[in-house]
Every structure is written in structure tokens, then in C-alpha cells.
Structure 1
């Protein structure tokens, strides 16, 4: 795995000084150093649909404008998700199938089987449980002492939620975010602490744990956790016989339930400190929380991109895309498209139409757990305001080395209690 400290020493050049020919936004250090904003501003201005002929991840098209992203994401017939939804192909032959990287009809069948776990009826039952857990986490935090918000809050809350959605043994819940980190780490990008040489062993542990759970759930009456739903659905009940496919879909559900919420929880604290007038606005009017949640997800954009492959020769933004070309939708750029989103670079918790972002995608692959993510963030901020005057950021965050997951490993904060 690339060394995080060394990657921070890599010089990221001014994008406006680079020629458009060969302009490459796939380099993970651009995102880790939080310098990607100007790179995408350059592309939106000068080459909204841009071809990079050569890079560490091969040739690819960058789609950087809001409406072009929606057009690609909504057209799964011309832009296929097979074989992968990330910009880089795997360096080895291990590419487990998962329904987000499939097209209909297989995609539709497998997604439909898992969907009830996060259906609106389930969310209402989950709300009280989430609130109890949020309260327990917040009440256990040290006050007036610096600590890492990512570790104590963001990871802990999302890990507990994942354990609930999978009905995974609660005392072993920390295996879930670890497997998520293993899945999103490669030789070029990733997070500290993941041993690439041991990666396959970690996957085998994951398969073994979930295979045991699968057989247990299959022998029990149906429930609404992911494993039970898949094990009892006639279309997916035999997935356990294909361990690689089982792993692929488990990793999809783990990553989807982990990274989006975890990094939005961290990002929201950072943004409110970066824009203190918005923090004051929030404290003056807590009813803005639901709208702020959407703005956090837009501003953070937890997953920077999704990738497609053209199934036929086509045209987009005046550019001719050939069959077989990789097409990368940069959600992180679409969410800052000044032609669609007014004052796009500002964090505004009362932004009109705040839900009009591309973080959750569009079309058949739109994030199915978006309501769960929003609910966790809403409840968290309701309870933060109930007990703290401020969550003060006391240092710059440390970010994950990745061009896919826009995440944090450390966000130093100090809690200030509300005065009696």
C-alpha cells in the first residue's frame, strides 16, 4: 500500500499551469491534499467532457458537469456498470461481482432482494434505536479534552448501524469497517493499517463469517436484515454457493453503509467550523438540521466518482466516445457545478433545494441506503445541539489517500458543553 506520509510529500502542481492534453485527475494525492477543487474547476471551464489517454489507471473520460453526469448515470444501456464502478481496474484477477457493478436483469433482482432492509417502514423502527446509540456515544465522550472525532463518533456510530443492518454479532462489529477499508484499498490508494499482502486472507475471514451467518439465517424465520433477506429470497438464496459473488455483494453493502455516513459525520463538523456563521445559524434555528444534512452530503461528496463503460459509440458534450471507453462521473465535481448550484463552493445550511445533489447518483444505481444515512446524520445533530455549545475543530483533518472514498482518518476536536 502507498505510504500515507510519503503521499503527503508528493507535490501537486497548479492545475491551471498544466496542459489539458494528459490532464489526469485520478491521482489520489490530489484528493488527500484537498486540492481537487481547482482541478475540477479547470475541467468544468475548459473541458467538461475530457479524455485522459494515459494514466496509472489507463485511459478514461472525465465527466464533470452536473447535467452530463445525470445523463450518463440515467442511461445504463449506453453506459454499463460492468465490470467495475471504480476508475481503476484491479491489479490482480480478483474482482468479485456485486450488483452495483451489474446491469439489468441481475442487478434489479439482487438489489430488490436487499432493499427491504432500508425501506421506509424499517426506518421508522430504526429511529429510536439509532437515537439511543447516538446518546450513548455522545454521553461517553470526554469534554474539554482533545480527541479524534473520526474514531470516537463517526466510525463508532456507523459501525453500530452496520451491525444492525446485517444483524452481525455486536461484539464483533469493528470487523465491518475494517473489511470496508480492506475493500477500498489497493496498491495505489487506501487507508493506513491495511496490509495488502494479507488482503486475501481478510477477505477469506469475511466470507467465512458471513457464510456461517447465512446458513444460520436461512434456517430461521425471515427477518429484515440484509443476510436474512438474501438468504430467503428465491432469486438470491443460492448466492452462498458462490463465495466470490457473496463477498462482492457483502462488500458493496458494507462500503455503502459505512463510507457515505462515516465521512459525512466527520465532514459536517469540519464544515461548520470552517463556516462559523453557519454554525451560529444552526444553533439559532435547529429546524434547519434536515436541510443541513443534505448540504453536508453535497459538500462532502463521500464517494468522489462512479465509473461506467460505453456499450456503443456515442456522443457526450460534443465529444465522441467509443465503445469500450471508460467514462468516469466525477460526483465531487458535479456537486460544485456553478451553472446548476448557486454559490456552489459555499457551505450553506439553509440552501434552497439542498437535496439537488449528485452524491447518491441517479437512475437504477441510485444509493438505496440514502434515507438511512440522512436519518443518522439528522439524529446525531439533534443530539449534539442538545448537549454541546460547540464541537470545536482544533486542527486540520487527515484524509484518506483515495480517488474514490473522500474520507478522514483524523479530525481533532474539543467539546464545549452547554452552560446550565
Structure 2
């Protein structure tokens, strides 16, 4: 098995298959950081697709690893609640997890989601498209030719931060605060970005204050088309508690930032690992939309979502008990041989490239999925106009997380312009 033709360590595979099944724990951030988690999921899909881990750093939990089982859980919000957090490692200080609409059940979830969804409506995407294209062109035209640079920093972070700052209608000069705050939200203390949970909370205070200021500006101004104004004037959201407002800001920051940014980076990795596919794309730019969907599947920028069972539920020959933590591993579902043909291969002209699980399903399906696809489509249209190739120089540095499947840095060189 390979992740886009990388030979993964035989040791990791041997260890995954040698571990007694009842002790197998797929939620190990170090394995994700070293890109060695695939073997655990391969084994679980084959031998124990609904798997119970009794002991882990996050307590006991069930792993759902096959595509159709994930669909069953994700589309059954009655039996599997989102209340209380969406990640296996929800930890937000003493007050419990921040409330946000992705971590709510109907009816509250539905009315809050509906309040912000106009920002990603087809009509608004048409308005955003020329702006995103102009910025993509500016970013790419500023890149050095023949010199090594970090693609994550110069391209992926820049485009997504610019777009998100526009959705919030905040000053563009503050856009990198969004990148930083998004990283802090999902960062594990002691793994580089922050050292302690107290430091994380102190950064949250600044982050909260910034967006409280934006709320105060918008609530005293006429309603407008940005996310803050929508929340400040929305019938279902204008009286929300400050923590709940902040929770939704956190959700929109991470959702609008991490996912698209890591898929833009992932596309460079995937195409470099599969030069035949890169050649196919250069020869036929009409494949860009299909390549975008295939990259979203292959990358799976958010590796999992968690739920809590609200009742006993039978699935895959097992009974999940009421109150149990259930983790849907999208990263595994997207490599399920029974649902997707040749799932470990990166094939940009697949027959049904949108047949992936990266955006989730059911009521919590990613609200910004079309905006994510649009940004990826535009950046690749602009890349192909300018550069014969973007060359990856070494293995990228990956994020230490079981939730965000992403990249800290990615060294590349662009040998020449078209």
C-alpha cells in the first residue's frame, strides 16, 4: 500500500498487524505526523471495521473505518449527537467545549447554520470568484523563480487567509492572525506552536477580544453580507451568548482555513508523487475540477469527526452503548476498497471523483464545500497558466494531530515560467 506511491515504513505495517486487535489505537498523532497511520486503518477495515479502543489518551472510543458505516453514523444525528465537541480530543479549559453550530443538534444547529450559509450561496460565490482569482494571480506572480520557498506559507496560507478575511470583512493586513488562531485552536501543547494549555487560553482571550470588537461594530451598523454581520443581525443568533458567538467564530476560522489550505498543499504533493497525473493535468486543464475532488479525497484535510451515541445502536455486528464516544475516520473511509476503486491511487480523471467523504454527510456536511472547491479550481487554473511545474524538493513537514491532516511546511522550487 502507498499514500500516492510513497513506500511507507515496513516497521509501521508490521507493528499495526502485530498489535493485539483489542489494543489497537488508531488515534496517535505521531503516526499522522509521520504519515504512518494508514496500516492501522487498513487492518481495521479488514478485520474489525467497528472497533473499540478501551484505553487511549482521549479515553475509550469506537472507531468507524468503512465508508458505508461512516455514512450510517454521519446521517443519523438522532442516534449520534454532535453536542459536546467534534474532535476526539475536545479540550477547552475548565468550562467545557466551546458551543458552535457544528457541535449542536437540531433544531438549534439548523437555524444557526442557515444564518451564515448565504455567504457561500451560489450567488455569493459568483461575486467572490473574480476577487479570489485576482488574489491568486497576485500571489503566484510574486513567487520567486528558480529559488526554494515554502509553498504552505507563500501560497496555501495566503489565499485562504485572504478569502476568509473577506468573508469576515476584516482588514486584509490582519489576515495572518486568522492563520495563527486557526493553528492555535487545533494545536497540541508541547508540539511546537504552544507549550501549555494556559498559553492557548491566553491567545484565545486576544482572539475573542478581536472578534468581540467586530461584533460591536457590525451590530451597530446596518445589516451587511459578511459573516459577522449575519450573526449579529440574524434572528436566531443576534442574542447568542458571547461564548457561543466565539465558538462559531472558531468553527468558521478552522473550517474556512485549515481544510482548503491543506488541500492546496496536498495537491502539490499528490501531483509530484504522481508525475503521470501531473502530465495529464498539464495536457488537459479541463480536468481541474475532477483533480480538485480527487485531491480532497486523497488528502482528507480533516481526518475524523466524533459523535456521542444517544442510544444503544447496532452496527457492523457490534452494539455501541448509549453515551459511548464514536469516531468516524474519514481518512479511512476515503481509502475503503469496497466503496472506492483503487482508493490508494491518485487518479485525477476518476469516473466519480466527488464520491468521497471528506466533507461529511447529513446535516453537518461542510457548509463551505463549494467555496473550498472554487478556491482550489481557481488556484490551479492560474498555476497552469504560469508554470510548467512546481517541484517538491523533500517530504513536507506534517502537522502533529489526529484531526487536522495537514502540512506545516512544504519546500518547493518553480524552475521556470511558461
Distance (Å, rounded) in 2 between the aligned partners of 1:11 and 1:187 = 25
8 Å contact kept, 1:305–1:329? yes
DSSP 3-state at the match of 1:177: helix
Unaligned runs of 5+ in 2: 1-10
- After superposition, give the CA deviation of every residue in 1:183-202 in whole Å (9 maximum; x if it has no partner): 112337x6535764321121
Report the counterpart of residue 50 of structure 2 in structure 1. 49
8 Å contact kept, 1:58–1:88? no
**Range that drifts further, 28-37 or 219-228:** 219-228
**Range that drifts further, 94-103 or 369-378:** 94-103
- After superposition, give the CA deviation of every residue in 1:287-344 in whole Å (9 maximum; x if it has no partner): 0000000000000000000000100011011101100000100000000000010010
Task: Summarize the alignment of residues 285-364 of structure 1 with structure 2, pairs less than 5 Å apart.
Answer: 285-364=284-363
Task: Give the CA deviation at 1:89.
Answer: 3.7
**Range that drifts further, 190-199 or 297-306:** 190-199
Task: Rate the CA distance shift 1:191–1:125 in 2: closer, same or farther, 3 A.
Answer: farther
1:274 aligns with 2:265: no
DSSP 3-state at the match of 1:390: coil
Report the counterpart of residue 378 of structure 2 in structure 1. 379
8 Å contact kept, 1:44–1:337? yes
Report the counterpart of residue 169 of structure 2 in structure 1. 167
8 Å contact kept, 1:181–1:191? no
Task: Rate the CA distance shift 1:77–1:356 in 2: closer, same or farther, 3 A.
Answer: same
Distance (Å, rounded) in 2 between the aligned partners of 1:193 and 1:153 = 24
Report the counterpart of residue 89 of structure 2 in structure 1. 88
8 Å contact kept, 1:181–1:194? no
Report the counterpart of residue 262 of structure 2 in structure 1. 263
DSSP 3-state at the match of 2:388: strand
Task: Summarize the alignment of residues 84-233 of structure 1 with structure 2, pairs less than 5 Å apart.
Answer: 84-90=85-91, 92-94=93-95, 95-187=97-189, 192=193, 196-233=197-234
8 Å contact kept, 1:191–1:400? no
DSSP 3-state at the match of 2:414: strand
Task: Give the CA deviation at 1:418.
Answer: 3.6
- After superposition, give the CA deviation of every residue in 1:257-292 in whole Å (9 maximum; x if it has no partner): 001100000000000000000000000100000000
RMSD over aligned Cα, in angstroms? 1.5
1:34 aligns with 2:39: no
TM-score if structure 2 supplies the norm length?
0.95
Report the counterpart of residue 67 of structure 1 in structure 2. 68
- After superposition, give the CA deviation of every residue in 1:155-193 in whole Å (9 maximum; x if it has no partner): 1111101101101111111111111111112337x6535
Distance (Å, rounded) in 2 between the aligned partners of 1:248 and 1:74 = 23
Distance (Å, rounded) in 1 between the aligned partners of 2:364 and 2:333 = 17
**Range that drifts further, 230-239 or 363-372:** 230-239
Distance (Å, rounded) in 1 between the aligned partners of 2:13 and 2:104 = 35
Report the counterpart of residue 4 of structure 2 in structure 1. none
8 Å contact kept, 1:217–1:227? yes
8 Å contact kept, 1:394–1:414? yes
- After superposition, give the CA deviation of every residue in 1:129-170 in whole Å (9 maximum; x if it has no partner): 000000000000001101110000011111101101101111
Task: Give the CA deviation at 1:221.
Answer: 1.9
